[in-house]
Amino acid sequence: KTILSLVTYSLIITANDSLNNANNISINITITEQESSLVITLNSPADNNATSSNTINFNCSATDAGGLSNISLWTNYSGSWQMNKSQQLLGTSNSSLISMSGMKDGSYNWSCSANDTLTNWGMATANRTFLIDSVPPVVTLISPNDLITTANSTLYLNCTATDNFGITNISMWTNYSGSWQMNTSVAVSGSYAQNQFAFAGLKSGSYNWSCGANNTINFAMATTNRTFTTDSVPPTVTLNS
């Protein structure tokens, strides 16, 4: 630590007994003012971390040449910026894991502070943000209706997706190839997305289709599939007699 100033005080203490005998003692006290060397580092989770877990483990470390006393977790989880938990932290360099459980979905800021043994206090130089999103998107099939039959070789499949914290992509799934798989996906944004997929060059047959969507963390499909039948072959007419 850097010594900023030295101040020396002289104290004279006098004691008397019942016979008025007196004695004096002189004491010099030097008070040292030191610059804090506290450094606080946010280790994990990383900034802008997204998770579906409602329990978050925060890891912070601190260093101080004169010795550490405690470390504290700060968040705006309650709606205002405040200290949530504090625990003892000893030594000149140490780290601590502080957990918060039962957290509600949302986007929050966090940081850590620390005290040294001389009651100096410091906070990490920057806050971090994390997102909890435990609810997958809701995907709805719009059109065509289930069990339709069409002579067209191109079919337009429409679906929507909603999510509290934003959709990142929406995809079309079919068994047209013979197995259930994603045929195409498009990037979207916002809490609501709608897309129309053009399914061209269809061969005659009966097929299943659905849609899926991703948010930052979770993937979900529509709760049911639908079926369509394409029949581009005209009937054969035979004149018998």
Tracing tokens 């900023």 back to the chain, one arrives at: 4
Q: What pLDDT score was predicted for residue 36?
A: 67
> Does residue 221 register a pLDDT over 90?
yes
> Does residue 55 register a pLDDT over 70?
yes
95 or 34, greater pLDDT:
95
DSSP 3-state percent helix, strand, coil across the chain (nearest 5): 0, 60, 40
| CA gap 189, 163 in Å, rounded | 10
Q: What is the pLDDT of residues 78-106, one digit of tens each?
A: 999 999 999 999 999 999 999 999 999 99
| CA gap 227, 208 in Å, rounded | 4
**β-pairing verdict for 49-51 and 128-132:** parallel
- Confidence tier at 6 by pLDDT (50, 70, 90): very low
- Average pLDDT of the chain? 91
Tell me the two tokens of residue 116. 């040294």
Q: What pLDDT score was predicted for residue 34?
A: 56
Residue % of the chain over a pLDDT of 70: 91
Q: What pLDDT score was predicted for residue 4?
A: 41
pTM reported for the whole predicted model: 0.76
> Does residue 70 register a pLDDT over 70?
yes
Q: Compute the radius of gyration of the chain from its Cα atoms.
A: 35
Tell me the two tokens of residue 61. 């470390």
Give the pLDDT mean for 217-226.
97
